[in-house]
């Protein structure tokens, strides 16, 4: 145990072969890197970044709704994040009469701020290495099941002690595939209100066309406010709640940025897999991503054709469409980047050298061959799992049928509804944003691909029988969408009035199909998929530990897992192709150059045209235009959306929102010459609030430098 911990201490403090622009570092360990960070230009201390003894930057950062990051920009609980992170909340308040997606929304006083059901943010209170406590009483002679039981038991005790007498919650997360464990303690706030958002023609300018691309001119921001009770503690929404008083908020720099300036990104990156072996990376680039891209292309084409014809449908499917498109385009860049860099070949070469080194080491010898063999066994189950997610669960009516089914129960021989009020809310939310015609058209496309690509032994007997009965996917779709009670809102909601025979719902075509595919997944796919993955994860624990001994001159930062991390580097352009160099900043000029009223993604508001024509830039102009976005070489991932981008003085200079398409393979392998994060220049945010929205009262709350 002591030897294992020593290996990780040495790995954390060794940084001789890692570039400063690569890595996602734990804030509590930043003292080990502060000299390198300061060498790159940072002027503050490690205590300013992370401290449990005084207010620090971590106290100005929130995990926003579980998938993004946000930051405090006033002493009255004002937080800023990306427009795409707040998109669902903006959409929920939108209608044809009040289209906040199209027109934007701006509260002009606190009383006009809009509450949001189920939206939450949480602050990290502290983090702590608890590896020794988690593995207390464990010894290598124990079975893996005994190890899991010890970890679960010890973790529960650690969490109980860490949250005792508080309103905090906590988790214990595994790092380095179970070689290290950290405790994360959080405080969660549940009253988060929408304050302001630009129209989508600004906040989503460029749309799917520009997504993951550079140059970008997207004003990707939205503003919310945290409310608390009178004691500044978390509380559910109430009119008596008051703006939260944070321990710390960011000052905002209006000085501007230039190439070579220091930058730090501080947020909650979602998931990276930097230490995967070659076989896993090959599956991602050669099999999984191409098929998932094809399936999402079909969905996007269907949605787009309907959204272009009807404004109400556009609003209804705006959030769904953006969600589908985001990963669709990312996967394309990721697969291309893996091939361009030859990552699979490089990993194979590394594995050959590792095998030679490990040949006389019983702990690591053979681990590569065992992993390789397991990945071969796993592949058909991974493929079936991919199609279950992208071709079956992506059919809205089928997933909805499963949700409804989960709220039914048997009581005294009768079928009853469990928690009727909750189910009613779920059903109303579903029908609010549901188009049967889009779902049916998408269903035909997705099921057609499923039939063509999934082996019959993974297809449910029910499904094969229905296709045989009706003769085609189209005919089966006609039957299902004509006969399912759940397709129609009026018919579907009728199950709540206690007049419908709920037992007949079990024979509903959509419910039957969900049940058949769910049973196949639970019985034939998931058990093996989970079992093999568990064996792989167990081997990775040894492989990870072995890599850290084999490459002892290299720093191994932990993969992202939605916990708070720091990345740092500098503002920097890049060269995506021969004879091409992208400058690291964009301006309002680029928006005007792309402006086209005939193309939805590039049709900017008339008012923005007028502001530009009159050069009405206020104090936010620079060199005859307004800065919009900039590039840096910080290592980011999904979940970093909305993260603060900080200058050398610890001031806010931008909001991270994307990566360049050529560098999206950074979740698997980081290329310092090509991987760039894209951030919104804070001066463009202030320009939009001031000159476009006339919401200057918000700027008055901020601390401008």
Strand partners, 630: 585, 679
Is the per-residue pLDDT at 176 higher than 50? yes
Same structural domain for residues 269 and 284? no
Same structural domain for residues 526 and 644? no
Mean pLDDT, residues 582-599: 96
Same structural domain for residues 332 and 422? yes
Answer with the one of 544, 577, 604 that is the final residue of a domain.
Answer: 544
How much is the pLDDT for 131?
A: 97
How much is the pLDDT for 5?
A: 45
CA dihedral 87, 70, 700, 241 (to 10 degrees): 80
How much is the pLDDT for 4?
A: 44
Q: Is residue 516 part of a domain?
A: yes
How much is the pLDDT for 95?
A: 86
Distance from first CA to last CA of the chain, Å, rounded? 50
Q: Is residue 144 part of a domain?
A: no
Share of the chain above pLDDT 70, in %: 96
How much is the pLDDT for 15?
A: 35
More confident residue, 422 or 636: 636
* CA distances (Å), origin 78, targets 82, 196, 688, 705: 14, 10, 17, 17
How much is the pLDDT for 14?
A: 38
Contact 454, 384 (CB under 8 A): yes
- The pLDDT tens digits for 672-703 are 999 999 999 999 999 999 999 999 999 999 99
Cite the active site residues: 84, 220, 641
Q: Which of 647, 669, 689 is nearest to 40 (CA)?
A: 647
- Nearest-angstrom CA–CA distance, 642 and 156: 32
Residue partners of 576: CB distance under 8 A and separation at least 6: 582, 660, 662, 674
How much is the pLDDT for 11?
A: 41
Is the per-residue pLDDT at 177 higher than 90? yes
- Nearest-angstrom CA–CA distance, 59 and 445: 47
Is the per-residue pLDDT at 188 higher than 70? yes
Q: Is residue 147 part of a domain?
A: no
Element (H, E) at 172: strand 169-175
- The pLDDT tens digits for 73-105 are 999 999 999 999 999 999 999 888 889 999 999
Same structural domain for residues 295 and 382? yes
Is the per-residue pLDDT at 415 higher than 90? no
Q: Is residue 264 part of a domain?
A: yes
Same structural domain for residues 315 and 268? no
Answer with the one of 494, 514, 544 that is the final residue of a domain.
Answer: 544
Same structural domain for residues 240 and 374? no
Strand partners, 484: none
- The pLDDT tens digits for 112-170 are 999 999 999 999 999 999 999 999 999 988 988 999 999 999 999 999 999 999 999 99
Same structural domain for residues 454 and 324? yes
Contact 371, 543 (CB under 8 A): yes
Same structural domain for residues 451 and 486? yes
DSSP secondary structure string for all residues of 36-52: HHHHTT--S-HHHHS-S
DSSP 495: G
Answer with the one of 521, 544, 567 that is the final residue of a domain.
Answer: 544
- The pLDDT tens digits for 294-327 are 999 999 999 999 998 998 998 899 889 988 998 9
Structural domain including 561 reads: 1-13+25-120+190-273+557-705
Is the per-residue pLDDT at 403 higher than 90? yes
Q: Is residue 145 part of a domain?
A: no
- Nearest-angstrom CA–CA distance, 622 and 683: 10
- Give the distance, in angstroms, between the CA of residue 235 and the centroid of all CA atoms in the same chain: 26
Q: Is the peptide bond before 537 cis (omega within 30 degrees of 0)?
A: no
Q: Is residue 258 part of a domain?
A: yes
Q: DSSP 3-state assignment of 438?
A: helix
Same structural domain for residues 52 and 195? yes
Same structural domain for residues 242 and 319? no
Same structural domain for residues 606 and 666? yes
- In sign, the C-alpha dihedral spanning 563, 569, 571, 573 is negative
Mean pLDDT, the chain, whole residue set: 93
How much is the pLDDT for 410?
A: 76
Same structural domain for residues 247 and 293? no
Q: Is residue 206 part of a domain?
A: yes
| Position 418 confidence tier, pLDDT thresholds 50, 70, 90 | confident
How much is the pLDDT for 412?
A: 64
* Number of structural domains in the chain: 2
- The pLDDT tens digits for 8-52 are 444 443 333 444 468 999 999 999 999 999 999 999 999 999 999
Q: Which of 84, 25, 71, 268 is nearest to 657 (CA)?
A: 84
How much is the pLDDT for 323?
A: 87
Is the per-residue pLDDT at 535 higher than 80? yes
Share of the chain above pLDDT 90, in %: 88
- Nearest-angstrom CA–CA distance, 134 and 176: 15
Mean pLDDT, residues 590-609: 94
Q: What's the CATH code of the domain at 89?
A: 2.40.10.120
* CA distances (Å), origin 135, targets 80, 154, 163, 532, 704: 39, 8, 20, 24, 48
Q: Is residue 168 part of a domain?
A: no
How much is the pLDDT for 1?
A: 45
């Amino acid at each position: 145990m002591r030897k294992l911990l020593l290996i990780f201490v040495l790995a954390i403090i060794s940084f001789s072969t890692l570039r400063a622009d690569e890595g996602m570092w734990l804030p509590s360990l930043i003292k080990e890197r502060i000299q390198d960070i300061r060498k790159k230009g940072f002027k503050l201390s490690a205590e300013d970044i992370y401290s449990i003894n005084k207010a620090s930057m971590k106290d100005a950062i929130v995990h926003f709704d579980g998938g993004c990051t946000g930051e405090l920009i006033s002493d009255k609980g004002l937080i800023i994040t990306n427009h795409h992170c707040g998109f669902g909340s903006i959409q929920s308040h939108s209608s044809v009469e009040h289209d906040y997606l199209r027109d934007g929304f701006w509260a002009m006083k606190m009383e006009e701020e809009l509450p949001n059901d189920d939206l939450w943010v949480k602050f990290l209170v502290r983090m702590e290495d608890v590896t020794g406590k988690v593995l207390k009483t464990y010894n290598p002679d124990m079975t893996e099941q005994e190890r899991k039981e010890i970890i679960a038991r010890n973790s529960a005790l650690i969490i109980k002690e860490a949250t005792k007498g508080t309103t905090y919650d906590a988790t214990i997360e595994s790092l380095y595939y179970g070689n290290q464990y950290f405790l994360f303690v959080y405080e969660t706030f549940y009253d988060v209100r929408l304050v302001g958002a630009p129209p989508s023609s600004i906040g989503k300018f460029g749309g799917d066309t520009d997504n993951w691309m550079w140059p970008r001119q997207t004003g990707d921001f939205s503003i919310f406010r945290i409310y608390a009770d009178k004691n500044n503690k978390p509380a559910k929404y109430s009119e008596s709640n008051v703006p939260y008083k944070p321990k710390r908020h960011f000052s905002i720099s209006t000085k501007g940025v230039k190439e070579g300036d220091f930058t730090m990104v501080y947020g909650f990156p979602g998931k990276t897999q930097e230490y995967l072996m070659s076989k896993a990376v090959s599956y991602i680039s050669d099999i999984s991503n191409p098929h998932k891209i094809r399936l999402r292309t079909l969905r996007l084409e269907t949605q787009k054709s309907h959204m272009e014809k009807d404004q109400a449908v556009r609003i209804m499917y705006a959030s769904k469409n953006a969600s589908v498109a985001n990963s669709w385009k990312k996967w394309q860049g990721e697969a291309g980047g893996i091939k361009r860099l030859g990552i699979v070949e490089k990993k194979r070469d590394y594995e050959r050298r590792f095998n030679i080194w490990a040949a006389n080491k019983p702990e690591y010898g053979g681990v590569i061959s065992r992993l390789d063999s397991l990945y071969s066994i796993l592949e058909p189950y991974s493929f079936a799992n991919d199609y279950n997610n992208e071709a079956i669960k992506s059919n809205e009516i089928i997933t909805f049928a499963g949700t409804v089914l989960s709220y039914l129960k048997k009581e005294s021989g009768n079928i009853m509804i469990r928690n009727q009020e909750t189910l009613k809310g779920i059903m109303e939310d579903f029908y609010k944003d549901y188009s049967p015609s889009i779902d049916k058209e998408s269903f035909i496309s997705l099921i057609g691909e499923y039939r063509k690509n999934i082996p019959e032994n993974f297809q449910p007997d029910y499904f094969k029988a229905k296709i045989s009965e009706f003769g085609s996917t189209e005919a089966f779709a006609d039957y299902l969408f004509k006969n399912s009670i759940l397709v129609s809102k009026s018919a579907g909601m009728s199950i709540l009035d206690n007049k419908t025979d709920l037992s007949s719902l079990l024979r509903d075509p959509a419910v039957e199909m969900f049940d058949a595919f769910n049973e196949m997944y639970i019985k034939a796919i998931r058990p093996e998929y989970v079992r093999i993955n568990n064996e792989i994860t167990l081997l990775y624990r040894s492989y990870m530990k072995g890599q850290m001994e084999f490459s002892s001159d290299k720093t191994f930062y932990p993969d992202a897992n939605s916990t708070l991390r720091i990345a740092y580097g500098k503002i920097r352009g890049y060269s995506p192709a021969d004879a091409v160099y992208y400058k690291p900043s964009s301006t309002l000029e680029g928006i005007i150059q792309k402006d086209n009223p005939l193309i939805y993604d590039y049709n900017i508001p008339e008012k923005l045209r007028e502001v530009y024509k009159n050069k009405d830039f206020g104090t936010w102009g620079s060199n005859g235009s307004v800065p919009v976005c900039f590039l840096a070489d910080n290592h980011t991932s999904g979940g970093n959306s909305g993260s603060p981008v900080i200058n050398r003085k610890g001031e806010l200079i931008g909001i991270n929102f994307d990566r360049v398409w050529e560098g999206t393979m950074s979740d698997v392998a980081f290329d310092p010459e090509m991987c760039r994060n894209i951030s919104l220049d804070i001066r463009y945010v202030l320009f939009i609030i001031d000159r476009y929205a006339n919401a200057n009262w918000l700027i008055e709350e901020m601390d401008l430098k």
